[in-house]
Amino acid sequence: MLKLYGFAVSDYFNMVKHALLEKGVAFEEITVFPDQTPEYLAKSPMGKVPCIETEQGFLCETSVILDYLEAAYPEKPLIPADAWQQAKVRELVKVSELYIELAARRLLPALLAGAPVADSVQTEVREVLEKGVRAVNALASFSPFVCGEQQTLADIVLRYSLGIAKLAAGSVLKWDLLEGNSELKAWDERMAQNPICQQLDADMQAQFDAFLKKVNAK
């Protein structure tokens, strides 16, 4: 059985877990945090989460894992069959990752540990997030999913990227990321009703306090 390594507060872990659940793939969940021990580095060479263990060996990096799952478990696809539509899904995935998730990640030390963030960094992050949201709005159809009538990896990656960005923007920048973005906000609210999203959100909340203690103990 496939094994998924990671922890419930990680948005990247949740992207992979959500895809597995949507596709109906049986897996064993193993809770681990980023780790530089030789044992874990043998599984994930950068020590990051998530990683998966397959019959053939280990895979790390979320985008690689998601592509593998599409190829290995095609019965319930999360990528369209058409080459152009595939590219459009991956375009939105990349925008979500680079200009929403990674931008918001710069605020995590402040969000999780109360570390100071320079005004210049706050300004830069907000500018990138504004551009990222604008790009998502330009690329998405919201009919009702971001790439059309069917849920795809674009919805999954955007949902968890946006989750961390909303939290960081609200807490650190005192800014409602979705203000004035009615279609994106409506889509986000629809995704929040997805039973898998609700399950993963509950798992994250249940683990959040323990995760904060681990972060602040370093």
Flag whether 78 is in a domain: no
User: Residue 19's domain is classified under what CATH number?
Assistant: 3.40.30.10
Q: Are residues 127 and 156 in the same domain?
A: yes
- Same domain membership, residue 169 and residue 207: yes
Residue-wise pLDDT tens digits, 14-67: 999 999 999 999 999 999 999 999 999 999 999 999 999 999 999 999 999 999
The region, left, alpha or beta by phi > 0 then psi within -120 to 50, assigned to residue 24 is left
Strand, helix or coil at 26?
A: coil
Residues 89 and 194 in one domain: yes
Over residues 74-131, the pLDDT tens digits come to: 999 999 999 999 999 999 999 999 999 999 999 999 988 889 999 999 999 999 999 9
Which helix (H) or strand (E) segment holds residue 159: the answer is: helix 153-168
Which of 31, 47, 72 represents a domain boundary (last residue)?
72
> CATH number, domain at 183?
1.20.1050.10
Claim to verify: residue 51 and residue 94 sit in the same structural domain: no
In this structure, is residue 53 part of a structural domain? yes
- For residue 209, the model assigns a pLDDT of 81
Same domain, 25 and 52: yes
Residues 37 and 145 in one domain: no
Whether residues 48 and 111 share a domain: the answer is no
**Smallest Cα–Cα separation from 167: which of 7, 11, 21?**
11
190 domain-assigned: yes
Q: How many domains does the chain have?
A: 2
Residue 112 is predicted with a pLDDT of 87
Q: Are residues 102 and 189 in the same domain?
A: yes
Give the domain range for residue 51. Answer: 2-72
CA quadruple 27, 30, 36, 41: dihedral sign: negative
Quick one: 104 and 193 in the same domain? yes
Clarify whether residues 88 and 65 are in a common domain: no
**Does residue 198 belong to any structural domain of this protein?**
yes
| pLDDT of res. 218 | 62
Q: What is the DSSP string of 95-154?
A: HHIIIIIHHHHTTHHHHHH-----HHHHHHHHHHHHHHHHHHHHH---SSBTTBSS--HH
Whether residue 77 is contained in a domain is answered as no
Residue 123's pLDDT is what?
97
Domain end: 72, 92, 124, which one?
Answer: 72
- Is pTM beyond 0.85 here? yes
**Residue 106 forms part of a structural domain:** yes
Look at residues 30, 48, 72 and tell me which one is the last residue of a structural domain: 72
Mean pLDDT for 158-166 is 97
Assigned domain for 13 exists: yes
Same domain, 9 and 89: no
The yes-or-no verdict on residue 215 having pLDDT over 90 is no
Residue 216, pLDDT score? 73
Please tell me whether residues 107 and 147 are part of one structural domain.
Answer: yes
DSSP 39-55: HHHTTSTT--S-EEE-S
